[in-house]
Chains A and B, each alone.
Chain A
Amino acid sequence: MTNNLLRFDAGTLLLELANIADFPFELAGVFKHDPRTGNFRARACDYARIVLTLKRKDFPFTDRARDYANLDTLVLKEEITPHPHQHFALEKWLAHSGRGVVSLPTGAGKTILAVLAISRIRRPALVLVPTIDLLTQWATVLERFFPVPVGMLGGGSHDIQNLTVSTYDSVVLNMEFIGNRFGLLIADECHHLPGPGYQLSAAMAIAPFRLGLSATPEMDAERAATLRELMGETVCHVGIDELEGKVLSHYQVKRMFVQLNAEEEQLYRKQRAIYTAFLRRFGINFASRCGWRDFLIACSRFPGGKEAFAAFLEQRKIARAGRAKLELLENILLSHPGERIIIFTADNDTAYSIGRRFTFPVVTHHTRSAERKAFLDAFRTGEYPVLVTSKVLNEGVDIPSAAVGVVFSGSGSVREHVQRLGRILRPSPGKNQAMLYELVSAGTSEEYTSGRRREHQAYRQRR
């Protein structure tokens, strides 16, 4: 034991030196002197670099930062034969020292890839997921493949084990306490990670091995650079077209336009005129980055703002959920009797109004976890053939039996639209072809929104 200590401190690393003159200057760019505590401090995510540098120069130190042991005896409970694309992705990731992002389409087996990565690296692993549904889903898969307890953080659970799954939200609050207990960090749907709230979580973890997983890793340069710094380079990318008909179902996308009825159209035009006149009056442009913010500020400050905001909501509501759309939905439902159908909406109100109209289960963030699980289980078994949701089931949730998707309304986000398609692409016995309907109110702003969200390879081929 030496008197030089490397210690984990609330998401950072402290280097406590017996003699300050011994400071290793190779690490001058990593450590900063902290006047608050009088020692040297570094980001926890620089742990691997620090330890390698200190060991390389035979610098005597005691590593008290790392609070985990290797899981040398960890073996899979059942053997996995990876698909060729999974094998390829794993080898690429390992070749990059177990650090990097793998981009695979939804349904291509990212969870299994992560299981394989854990079994190869054999370190305590923390899996980050964006939703509570994915939290339980991941925990179930890990429990199936590993003979060790699996912890959960989030959704009312606070159980930390060598294999732990956490929501991004929960780990933000906890990483400063648990950031030194895992050697492998896996970020599912890792396009969320560069967000200002979440990126700190990955920066506060010492895990030398890092695996980012995403079906939709496209993002602006700044966020891409943050993701690269925290998780590593993109080491493997497989497109949806490479797996369609093999690992993924064949699919068809049908965009259907509906006309507003005369009364709705009149009201739509009237409300839109009020709102667009307000935009013009104050020079607000929604194409600019601050457009939405400027609109909200102007609505709260200037005369006519309250009416403009109400008009904005009303015209959007008509475009998203007109009567004709509801009638078309009814026809679509009747043309797929007994099939497993998932209906997506842009907002909770529309989801609940569809749920009330047809007596269908609705999953939103208001749905309590026990009932949410019951709804999903019943949908998987076919007991409930139809499920309505706003946004909470957009990502990751494994419902392979869903063969039909209906985008009743949505945002202009390409990511959201691709993820929604992904919900119905997973292969399942008896599923020959998946079908995605997209319902658009003709002559409204929905046409433009729909055009924007279809800017992806998965849709371009279907035009």
Chain B
Amino acid sequence: MLKKEHICCKIASGRVKPLLIDTALPANLELAGSLLAVYLEAYNNSMTRMELEQLAGNVISASVDEKFASGLNKLLLDRTEFSPAAELDHPAYRRKLFLRSAELFKQGKLSAPPSAGTPDIYGDLPAFEKMAAFDGMTPDALLKLYNLAQCQALLVYASNIELRLADPDVSGLRKVMKAIKFFRLLAEFTNLKSKGIKITISGPYALFAPSAKYAVSLAALLPVMVNLKKWSLEAMITFRERELKLKLDEKLELHSPQRSFSSFVPEEIRLYHRHFAERSADWQIIGETPFLDAGNQQIIFPDLSFASKENGKTIHLELFHRWHAGQLSARLELLKNHPEIPLILGIDRAVITKAELDEQLAGYPELRQRCWLFSDFPGVENTLKVLKTVQ
């Protein structure tokens, strides 16, 4: 993500417009290529953060537009991981020296300045960390990512956004809905009839005061939106102490590095996938989760789908966290009437108590077996238990 100092925009008549770069311009491609070469060189030679900064700094200061170059550098830095320097056990080394200096001080003396050639006692500060991983890309992809990041950097100052879809297709809508749910945002739909639909997206608390709390989540929706067909987005942002209108649409030709939202896997989901694969002999998680058409214009967007290794049977899982508590009653009613829908439900304990769930599903013992309660995040063991019951 770009920071405030990297933003390039034009402000006029209460509007803000990101200044995007020409991704096909040879000079831009050359600059992106030079920086990428620096990062690859640094990675191949396990350079320190300080060495990398110096090398990249040379390219930045030699560039015509330093702000642009710094922005590209920031995006590459975000794709880099560092690990502590391992040559010396610095904490142990320090402790030995500190004990000696403490003894001297108690005798009314001070340690002499360190002599040349002795290891730096603070040689494990971040500046000395070594480059451990780098997620490289092509110069063209870096420039496209830069344009997207410029728009996201402005969206970080929004408290809500209005997305208009002129010709919404179910698949695109599903991705948007899944992303909204994932980022714990709320959406209000307005049917614009022949002009498509408008989706106003914000966080629960945004009803009371504009809040930057949801801004990063709103900005994170952009890569999903740019994959849609005919889209436009409007947001009021508070930037440089002014209220400004930001408008983005498909004409900007923004590109998302993630072609499908389902390819973006957050850490907790990644861990869940790993534990599931380790512990389950009978089931596997399906990569692409389809949506379920429950009829009567009811569409269910499951969070995960599982396939039986034995017979290929597919079961979907929908999670109800605290922030979509309002939709649980409707889903339970649907499943009471349509037990054939292959859906199991994981429900956050904050949404409903065990006694309340038992009461709501009295008379539906099979359905009760398809629901379980969890705290914060559903465990793999409970998922497997319910899958076994359903099978």
Contacts and interface: CB of A to CB of B under 8 A. Distances in A.
A409 interface: no
B63 to A, nearest CB: 13
Given A176-B184, A333-B110, A8 B322 contact: yes
A10 B204 contact: yes
A39 B323 contact: no
B110 A8 contact: no
B91 A356 contact: no
Contacts of B184: 10, 176
A280 interface: no
Contacts of A10: 184, 203-205, 322-323
B101 A204 contact: no
A218 interface: no
Contacts of A296: 5
Contacts of A38: 326
Interface in B79-121: 91, 94-95, 97-102, 105-108, 110-111, 113-114, 120-121
A8 B350 contact: yes
Interface stretch (B206-214, B222-230, B304-312): B206-214
Contacts of B202: 36
Given A37-B186, A43-B208, A384 B111 contact: no
A250 B315 CA distance: 72
B288 interface: no
Interface string A346-390: 000000100111111110001000110010001000011110000
Contact of B98 (A11, A43, A352, A359): A359
A356 B350 contact: no
A360 B101 contact: yes
Given A41-B204, A197-B212, A337-B105, A359 B5 contact: no
Given A10-B205, A356-B114, A359-B111, A383 B102 contact: yes
Contacts of B186: 34, 36-37
A300 interface: yes
B204 A366 contact: no
Interface string B293-317: 0000000000000000000000000
A80 B350 CA distance: 36
A420 to B, nearest CB: 21
A451 interface: no
A359 B350 contact: no
A291 interface: no
B376 interface: yes
A249 interface: no
| Residue of B106, B121, B204 with most chain A CB atoms under a 10 A cut-off | B204
Contacts of A7: 325
Given A9-B204, A10-B203, A11-B204, A385 B102 contact: yes
Nearest to A337: B108
Contacts of A203: 205, 208
B213 A172 contact: yes
Contacts of B204: 9-12, 41, 176
Contacts of A386: 102, 105
A337 B102 contact: no
Interface in A312-358: 330, 333-334, 337-338, 352, 355-358
B110 A334 contact: yes
Given A41-B207, A333-B110, A290 B213 contact: no
Contacts, number: 118
A14 interface: yes
Interface residues of A, number: 53
Contact of A384 (B98, B211, B212, B322): B98
A14 B205 contact: no
B121 A359 contact: yes
Interface in A267-310: 290, 296, 300
Nearest to B84: A368
A25 B97 CA distance: 70
B205 A290 contact: no
A384 B95 CA distance: 10
Nearest to B126: A366
Interface string B318-340: 00001101100000000000000
B125 interface: yes
Contact of A32 (B99, B208, B213, B325): B208
B122 interface: yes
B188 interface: yes
A378 B94 CA distance: 13
A330 B110 contact: yes
B368 interface: no
A390 to B, nearest CB: 13
B67 interface: yes
Contacts of B95: 374
A7 B324 CA distance: 11
A38 B329 CA distance: 14
A59 interface: no
Interface in B183-225: 184, 186-188, 200, 202-205, 207-208, 211-213
A203 B325 CA distance: 20
A355 B207 CA distance: 50
Given A172-B213, A176-B184, A200-B213, A359 B97 contact: yes
Contacts of B207: 12, 32, 34, 41
Contacts of A39: 326
B106 A355 contact: no
Contact of B205 (A35, A43, A337, A360): A43
Contacts of A8: 322, 350
Contacts of A366: 125-126
A290 B120 CA distance: 40
A428 B186 CA distance: 54
B326 A14 contact: yes
A447 B20 CA distance: 46
Contacts of A43: 205, 208
7 contacts: A9-B322, A32-B207, A36-B200, A204-B205, A338-B108, A374-B95, A386-B105
Interface of B: 5, 67, 91, 94-95, 97-102, 105-108, 110-111, 113-114, 120-122, 125-126, 184, 186-188, 200, 202-205, 207-208, 211-213, 241, 322-323, 325-326, 350, 376
Interface of A: 7-12, 14, 16, 32, 34-39, 41, 43, 67, 172, 176-177, 180, 196-197, 200, 203-204, 290, 296, 300, 330, 333-334, 337-338, 352, 355-362, 366, 370-371, 374, 378, 383-386
Given A333-B110, A356-B114, 8 more contacts: A8-B322, A12-B204, A41-B207, A176-B184, A338-B105, A352-B125, A362-B122, A371-B94
A-B pairs with lowest CB-CB distance, top 9: A337-B108, A359-B101, A359-B111, A338-B106, A36-B186, A10-B323, A10-B204, A36-B188, A12-B204
